[in-house]
Amino acid sequence: MGITYEISVPSSRKEEMIDITGQIRELVKRSGIRDGICVVHAMHTTAGILVNENYDPSLKEDMLDFLSGISKGKWRHDLEDNNASAHLKSLIVGQSQSIPIKSGNLMLGTWQGICIAEFDGPKLRKVSVSIV
């Protein structure tokens, strides 16, 4: 038994890391599930979900710069849609993260937070949150 929620997250820039840890914690509480797994999944091909440090805001910019550096290139999809690097960044970050739940709390480390990574915004992004 479990429950799946869907949340909408608006992005306001072309590229952005948006912390959604608070919203995910609320859903875990609402689910009433005390011990299990929370799967956070971005329903998109040019966005991703990551778990990393959410304290120093400059790190978010570093992560975006890092991904821009390794996704530079001459890509076929740019002739079609002009957003190949956004797809490649999404490929690297991945669409889902699984976080264990113990005693009703997400088992995140002190510096860990859950972010949706926007690579082709601004858009309204859908994130599914399954708690089982």
Q: Which of 89, 94, 126, 117 is nearest to 18 (CA)?
A: 117
- Nearest residue to the partner Zn ion, using Cβ: 81
Nearer to Zn ion, 1 or 79 (CB): 79
DSSP per-residue letters across 48-92: EEEEEE-S-HHHHHHHHHHHHHHT-S--THHHHTS-HHHHHHHHH
Binding-site ranges for Zn ion (CB under 5 A):
81, 83
Smallest separation (angstroms) from Zn ion to the CB of 81: 3
Instruction: Measure the CA–CA gap between 129 and 131, rounded to whole angstroms.
Output: 6
Smallest separation (angstroms) from Zn ion to the CB of 75: 10
Smallest separation (angstroms) from Zn ion to the CB of 97: 23
Nearer to Zn ion, 57 or 73 (CB): 73
Nearer to Zn ion, 35 or 81 (CB): 81
